[in-house]
Structure 1
Amino acid sequence: MYPKDIIERIKLPFRKDKELYSSFYKILGFYPHHIQYYEQALHHKSSSIKKQGSWINNERLEFLGDAILDAVVGDIVFRHFKGKREGFLTNTRSKIVQRETLNRLAVEIGLDKLIISSTHSSTHNSYMCGNAFEAMVGAIYLDRGYSYCMRFIGKRIMTQLINIDKLAYKEVNFKSKLIEWGQKRRVEITFDLIDQAREGSSTPVFTTQITIEGVTCCKGRGYSKKESQQLAAKDTLALLRKSPKLVERILSNKRQKEALSEMSIQDNEQQTITVVASPKLQVSVTESPEFSMVGRR
């Protein structure tokens, strides 16, 4: 008997959208059952289509794919690094699922060529390919289930495109990335150590809280101050990326602070002008010692 994918390949030429199915086969390593999920995964928000009164794009699939990708990669990392501690496993997973890595993977498998978008701003949509990659994982989950997500990530991605051992020990400085983000927008970022406890009998655990322009962001918990800062910065960067409202709130606080500072400077200037413009007061103080004596009585 023929394997299922071979049977599907034999039937494929009789399908109207043969080219699209073939493109997905090259990317995924198997043929879709319900191609509409994969088509939706390719629709960026800027090219939403309206069906039955609702606008359809890949944002919902991106949400689902993000969760599935975390689980699948976590599963793979857990099994690959036997005996490693939670902090190491968490850092390794975050390096694999971060947007920079997903963007690169999307391009390497050719997913970027299939994305449907009406925008051309590379800066505003710098994570468009990575978002489509997550949406594609969401589509695989709905179409084929968790086992095929594991097959796609494990065999197609991890085996062929990622050196998991090399990546695990590669230093990714999320704190520096967050500070760079703040410098570009000229906002104040603080890393506060809010808790230091012990896990079990001797292992110290640190918790860092990040605040940006008075807005409380994410916490990080690690086995060193540096690790807690890195994890807090990593989650904060992800939160800033997914929450434009949070970014606007931070920038709004910055504008309010700048406005108050400007008002304070203007008030100080006005007070200085008032003193200089009162020659009688200057004369009475500097040239009339008798006036000073009377004032004391």
Structure 2
Amino acid sequence: MKTTPPLNSLENALGVKFSDKALLQQAFVHRSYLNELLENEQELLDNERLEFLGDAVLSYIFSEYLFTHFPAQKEGGLTNLRSALVRRETLARLAVKLHLGDYLLLGHGEEESGGRTRQATLCATFEALVGALYLDQQMQVCRDVVIRLFRQELQRLDQRMQVKDAKSRLQELAQSKIGATPRYRQVTSDGPDHAKHFVMAVQIGGVPYGVGQGRSKQEATQNAAAMALYCLGETADNYILDRDLAREHGIDLPDTPGGADSDD
């Protein structure tokens, strides 16, 4: 089996010295490794309980962060933001950055099948490390380390939240420019439960201004609002403006925001 590097290099990267080195080591013991140990070596524990704890600790840290930093967000919005922060891809990417795979103790079969670089394994290992960090250093230190590790993700989130979504922008623009509130309706919903497709339309003062499609009602609604913004002279970056769909629903989508109608 591969020889793992000393854990003090990881401690240096984290900026933390563990009081209980065995706890830190446990964060990297994969279940497959224990299956191949001799009976007299069975005092080791795998990292699955630490993974369970780390998942809960991450959820708490980001719940608190989001609750504090985004006071205007409702419960559903906060939940979506937290889910985006702790998704598997992000945790695995941070695990790669910290070289966590190098420290893993794996069984021969798991090693040979690429377990050291497997996304799910790296994600679980990151969570186990957070669990061990919480137990050894308590919440304040654990929180500081996690927030530092997620600094780039949190900065991107802060920047994104400073820009209002299309639906919110349309609400303000419609009330100030037209004196009416946008009204949304679901046009269609089809496809199996795991691959739904929605079409949403928006009217302002009884006049159709936008239509959008997406894999969720929220995505379709945002695309419909973006089209309405475009028709009213506002930019609609990062949204999908479907001209064919607009034609189907009698909306003349201009060539430029608020400009002349397209002739094609």
* TM-score bracket relative to the smaller structure: 0.5 to 0.7
Counterpart among 8, 13, 19 of residue 27 in structure 1: 13
Unaligned runs of 5+ in 1: 1-18, 172-187, 192-224, 229-297
| Cα deviations by residue, 1:172-222 (Å, 9 ceiling, x for unpaired) | xxxxxxxxxxxxxxxx9636xxxxxxxxxxxxxxxxxxxxxxxxxxxxxxx
Find the counterpart in structure 2 of residue 135 from structure 1.
128
1:89 matched to 2:92? The reply is no
**Aligned to 2:94, what secondary structure does the other structure show?**
helix
State the Cα distance separating 1:121 from its structure 2 match.
Answer: 2.6
Specify whether residues 37 and 149 from structure 1 end up closer, same or farther in structure 2 by C-alpha distance, changes over 3 A only. Answer: same
Find the counterpart in structure 2 of residue 157 from structure 1.
149
State the Cα distance separating 1:24 from its structure 2 match.
Answer: 2.5
Specify whether residues 55 and 189 from structure 1 end up closer, same or farther in structure 2 by C-alpha distance, changes over 3 A only. Answer: farther
Counterpart among 110, 130, 135 of residue 99 in structure 2: 110
Letter in structure 2 aligned against 1:226: K
Find the counterpart in structure 1 of residue 64 from structure 2.
75
Counterpart among 137, 146, 171 of residue 144 in structure 1: 137
- Percent of pairs with identical residues: 33
Distance 1:166 1:26 in 2: 30
Specify whether residues 102 and 143 from structure 1 end up closer, same or farther in structure 2 by C-alpha distance, changes over 3 A only. Answer: same
State the Cα distance separating 1:29 from its structure 2 match.
Answer: 1.3
Distance 2:12 2:192 in 1: 44
Specify whether residues 53 and 29 from structure 1 end up closer, same or farther in structure 2 by C-alpha distance, changes over 3 A only. Answer: closer
State the Cα distance separating 1:53 from its structure 2 match.
Answer: 6.0
Distance 1:158 1:126 in 2: 18
| Cα deviations by residue, 1:28-78 (Å, 9 ceiling, x for unpaired) | 211111111110001111112667866621101001111111001111122
Counterpart among 208, 214, 217 of residue 226 in structure 1: 217
Contact 1:61 1:135 survives alignment (8 Å): yes
Aligned residues: 161
Distance 2:71 2:144 in 1: 20
Higher helix share: 1
Distance 1:131 1:125 in 2: 10
Unaligned runs of 5+ in 2: 166-190, 195-215, 220-264
Mapping 1:48-67, distance limit 5 Å: 48=34, 56-67=45-56
Find the counterpart in structure 1 of residue 193 from structure 2.
190
State the Cα distance separating 1:165 from its structure 2 match.
Answer: 2.6
**Aligned to 1:87, what secondary structure does the other structure show?**
helix
Letter in structure 2 aligned against 1:78: F
Structure whose CA Rg is larger: 1
Find the counterpart in structure 2 of residue 43 from structure 1.
29
Letter in structure 1 aligned against 2:23: Y
What is the TM-score of this pair, normalised by structure 2? 0.52
**Aligned to 1:20, what secondary structure does the other structure show?**
coil
Letter in structure 2 aligned against 1:151: D
State the Cα distance separating 1:88 from its structure 2 match.
Answer: 1.6
